[in-house]
Amino acid sequence: MNLKKWLHHILSGIRTGSTVYLIVLALSIQKSAPTIGNIISVFFLSGLIGMLGPLFDIFDERFAHSTLLLFHFLAVTGLVCVFMLYNSWGILLIKWQFWLNFILIYLFVWLFIYLDTNVKTKKINKVLDKRRLKKNLK
Q: Which of 9, 98, 81 is nearest to 49 (CA)?
A: 9
Q: In the chain, what percentage of residues exceed pLDDT 90?
A: 64
CA 35 and chain centroid, separation: 22
Rounded to an integer, the average pLDDT of 3-18 is: 93
Q: Please give the mean pLDDT across all residues of the chain.
A: 91
Q: What is the pLDDT of residue 136?
A: 83
Rounded to an integer, the average pLDDT of 52-64 is: 86
Rounded to an integer, the average pLDDT of 63-91 is: 92
Q: Is the pLDDT of residue 138 over 80?
A: no
Tell me how far apart the alpha carbons of residues 62 and 107 are, in angstroms, rounded to a whole number. Answer: 24
Rounded to an integer, the average pLDDT of 95-99 is: 94
For residue range 103-121, list pLDDT tens digits in order.
999 999 999 988 998 999 9
For residue range 31-44, list pLDDT tens digits in order.
888 999 999 999 99
What does each C-alpha distance from 117 to 12, 38, 95, 110 come to in angstroms? Answer: 13, 30, 33, 10
Whole-prediction pTM value? 0.83
Q: What is the pLDDT of residue 77?
A: 96
